[in-house]
Structure 1
Amino acid sequence: MADDHNSMRILRPWQNPGVRGLLAACVVAVVAAGIVESWHYVHNYARKIIEQRDHRPLKRIVLLNTPPWLSKSLLDQIAQEAVDYTIYNPRHPDYALQLRDPLNGNILKILARHYLQDQNAGENAWIKRIGFIRRAWTRSAQIIEISAVYRRPAALVAGPTGGYLVSFGGVRLPGLYKANQFSALHWLIQIIGSQAAPPVAGRHVDTPRIEVALKLIHVLASQPYYHQIAAINMRNLGGKASSLAPQITLITRFGTRVWWGRAPGQEGFYEVPAARKLESLAKIYARFGRIDARRAYVDIRGDQVLVPKPTTQP
């Protein structure tokens, strides 16, 4: 009995295989927790350093590579849209916190989508494409830099009481202009006689008269005399008002007329093609320095350029 008693070994707790496994698991768990806690500490410390040293409450939105045709007032409104949509958005109050978080990039993607998808909001329709939206830091503040491609106005669609702008791509641009404001837009060609309600900003214009006028503007825009054209009268497009009168008339800045005729590509056998009309205008411009040949009107629809006889004094 004594021998049996002496042969028994008393195992201490840490010598038990089950206990050793449990202790090892605890050590692994503690190490893992320490790693996670360390990562959180470093992450939060980095965030705190950025916030303390470089990050201040958002001071401004900076628009990069802005075009000359947009006024400072319009550019300020485009920038303000970013502030209103992120910081003062009652539907998404969390956007303000996301924007102020220097490590949050998702809010910048949300802002880019807003500019492009909500084109009817504010002045957003001026923006054709977003290059990038990124954070930058100055010595005193965080700024948001926005690089975009902007739509260029091609014409003022003018009515008797007001008008609106349309881009070269046929997109309605923001804003409505009263007739007494047209003089401030004298550098734009006016499209007259569209007889259609304006679409909402950011939508393509699908009115045939405006579409044809824009096509003609594309044809004329590269010509050296383009600046002499004040308006394009589209009232008789399709000969609806008169089968004999020119379907399209160019109104010069001298108050004279150029009888253009049918829409480019629609001349058929009735008129010379658009290329011939451009040649005629180029010759007239080279000779007279004006596309109206210094007459009340010039008819360039046929093979021969027609002008009225000069009036003679009695």
Structure 2
Amino acid sequence: MSEFEWIKRLQSAYPLGLNDNILNVGTISKNKSINSFSLFSKRLRNKRSHGIRKNGNLRRKFKRLLSLNDCYTVLQNGGKHKLLSALCSLSVSSLAHIDKECKLILLQSDPLYECACIIESFTDYYLKPFIENVLNKTRNRIKIEFCNKGLDLIDLPKIFNDKNVRRLIPPYFRNTESPLICYKYSKPVRSIVFNYNSISTDLNVIRNCPTLCDCTSSKYIYGPVGHVITGDLNFIQNKNLRNLLRRGPKYRLPIPVDFDDCIKNIVTSLHDYCTKWCRKENAEITALNDWKTKIFSMAMNKICFYDTHPLALPHSPKFNKQNLCKLLEDLKSKFVLVPADKAANNVIII
């Protein structure tokens, strides 16, 4: 409908001089027989907040009030860990109220004296201003023996930093940072490859050295000396031994993935770490039991995944250590193996 037709209909409905009032928007008619508000809808407008914000603080809405007797029952039933966890969920005003009750208990014969001492040590830290210690933000180290590459597949650093694991650290701990992992690796092949130390410290080196050699018939002979001095590993005929020496003396012989050994090392190292952590925080030794069980469950989930998907396991080169040791002993009985200067991964055969 056009604007002209709409005005024409209104003129036919209200013939008593409504033209000026209709055309001028917002004016009210002076004629009492005409109700200008009938032109608009009578539906009520929806209610609006007009920008009034609601307080969504859950601690304020569900405010807990604990008395000293309630804290005593928590201590008797659940121990020190449950009591400190309950105190962490209280507001500052509730803690101040309990602190006043604790200061009224002065006799050591009072059954509430032990509970009051624990609460006072907690409120002194949270209610009074303090200078934050740098040690409370440092990450402590946990030592784990690296038995095989199964530890890399379990991925302990990711488990330690998981939000579900960090949530289980007791909130009353001053240092709640996740630990840093320090792996203790096995010895490299350097100790079984090189033999220059034993020969240089031998007092009867001339007597113990072989009198005959096949250096003259070798193409790797060094002319001015008349013996073999080379860094070319093609001199070694055995392929496995040659591949081992090409990897350098810092190479560690691979061990097949065994998740049982990994779990044993994780259990022992975590047990030692948790006891030290609880002693530093003056807490019960069982305060980190939930934290440990969550780590074990997530580690077992990773192991179950690799058990059902064996193709996801990494393939590492296989070396028979006994055969390699025999071949190295035969080689070292005739030659001296020395690291190259400024190139520690290179081997020189003399």
Report the TM-score, using the length of structure 1 for normalisation. 0.24
Higher helix share: 2
- Kindly indicate which of the two structures has a greater share of residues assigned to strand: 1
